[in-house]
Structure 1
Amino acid sequence: MNISTPHRVGEDDPIDVFDHPEFRGHEQIVFGHDAASGLKTIIAIHDTRLGPAAGGCRMWRYESGDAALTDALRLSRGMTYKNALAGLDFGGGKAVIIADAQKDKTEALLEAFGTQVERLAGRYRTAEDVGISTADMDVVARRTAFALGTAKTGLGDPSPYTALGVFEGIKAAVRFRLKHDDLSGLTVSVQGLGNVGFGVARYLYEAGARLVVSDINDRSVARAIETFSARPVDPNAAHKTDADIFCPCALGAGLNSVTIPEIRAGIVAGAANNQLASDQDGKRLLDAGILYAPDYAINAGGIISIALAGPGDKDTLVREKTIAIGQTLTRIFERAQTENLPTQTIADKLAQERLSSAV
């Protein structure tokens, strides 16, 4: 259902949607529930001027319904800007499922989510995200024609393309800040070693970078140490590590008034969504002399693979568009320097210019 009055999600959590600090003119917000499977989901559609909303589904054990709504609202708006900046004919949307992906995930729950997506009749196209795999999306697709990123709908797992785009973005940042292409000998602190983070680490290692790695999963850290001769560090200290580049690839809001003064790297470029905790944090990074690669610009490889590839396609076009992320970031860096504005502000402007042209 569309939300026009306060509703409750989770345990005694009053949520006033329109007064929510992350509500930014969202077109539609749907709260979905299925008693039989235990599904509790929020689907946020931010903007469809460029086309149907597209964005992944995140399964997470949120502390409250309000925390889930906050994530859905922020992530969906980020997808609007990501798709616009990547030149895709999609608007922005995102779904969250309030559940523990390790304990609560069942085929019935995933199918129930697919039913919720199908009821939106194509206004929202879903895909995998944190807590949801491509195999899970195959289950979701049993109930909806609008599940993307599966073997049947395209190239399958989008994470390798996200990792490629982040690597190209890091190279662009190094060229702009350090005036050379070679990553050999540079130290990169990679925070988060999921599918994307580990893929980025592999690209960096093969390019000759020295890696400092961190993750809440000890096995992922051990694997990175063995594979990349990496040095481990506590995830909470990853941003404070002596490094040339800090590469956040975990959850968002890690760049804030507390952490930014502690960052020792001159470049921040990583795959995590919504890295800035507030709009003011882009200015804080600028004032600290840190070159920031806006998250939705650098991590667009996954949605590019989902949007542009059809069943049986080769990935030539997807790879070309993903590699071009480096060029997009260079344009952002140059304009930000000229206008003396945060790179996030410039990225927003570029996305808004394309959105305005669609009206």
Structure 2
Amino acid sequence: MDSLITAAARALATGDLLGALKRVALRDDPPALALRGIAMAQLGDFDRAKVLLRRAARAFGPREAVARARCVVAEAEIALVSRDLGWPAKTLDAARATLEAHGDPINAAHARILELRRLLLIGHLDEAERVLAGVDPAPLPAALKANHELVVAGIALRRLSTKTARAALARATRAAHDAGIPALIAEVDSASQVLDAPAARLVTQGDQRLLRLEDVEALLESKALVVDACRHAVRDAGTVVSLARRPVLFALARALGEAWPADVPRATLIARAFRGRHADESHRARLRVEIGRLRSALRKLADVSATSQGFALAPRRNREIVVLARPVEEEHAEVLAFLADGESWSSSALALALGASQRTVQRALDALAAAGKVQSFGLGRARRWLSQPVPGFTTTLLLPGPLPSD
């Protein structure tokens, strides 16, 4: 490798993109193409970056398997940043295996971290933890250590283990400053702000207050019975009853939880659960059936009793009932939560991350666009969607993935 290529690679490693491009901008040999592609990716020109990296991979000879594998890893990183979640993960895994077999553990670890970031993004936390266990951060350079700790923090945040997340973010901050890369330092700072931003609302006996993630963690470990509107479940410290696939039952449970210890009139329950303006005998009969189903679902946690006016919820072994709600509640909040990261998403990537059909996601995006909450650019398969983040709030509890005891 000649001196200009070496100098350009060092400039890229320290975040000096223009310095790297000055050294290789006029060269078309494979190493220069690869470095130009990486630099263009970091400047945000992903389409040009992919073209350059693919040209470099084709130009490397059959004996240069490591160089081709490095190009694959770089392209995988571009796919992740541009939210091309359908990019073939097996290709990245094959490149990682090649790097390990040819004695390049640093780039192999980089490939692992990219795999972890993708798993975290789509909510596969158990699989991410298994992969993470196989990565030793000790020998990694500072930039990769910071990215490794960001993954550790991301998993901990989604698990609501805030102490673990705070410690990982502190290590990430030190590593990012050691690396001296401004973009990485900014990314770690942005991730750290999640811990201090409002993450949910606590609704109890008519009062409301905002909670940080640490407060949510403490609430879920307390003796309260929590009607969790973030994950559509009813839970205490030891038991979780998911009602995510039973929206009518959850609507009833939430209405009863918000009113506790008072009861809720039948007409109010009918309006909340069935969205009916006028209750007739068929509504009242259906309400009795659904209340029976709710009573059966919550039998380990609470009793649903009839009163003269309606129904009331009474905890069996808990001191109180509270409702945990999202800080900002609106339709299609999960879609907005992903778009709030500031990156551009395709509808197919959102569908993969949400575990929903692409048509369902497209309808949600169309509704949000009509309301002026998201905007798109591009046409056809190149169409991407953007949204402005909600200032001062964290969207952690809107993203997919289990909470403790799920």
What is the TM-score when the length of structure 1 is the normalising length?
Answer: 0.30
What is the TM-score when the length of structure 2 is the normalising length?
Answer: 0.28
Structure with greater helix share of residues:
2
Larger RCO, structures 1/2 (Cα 8 Å, 6+ apart): 1
Structure with greater strand share of residues:
1
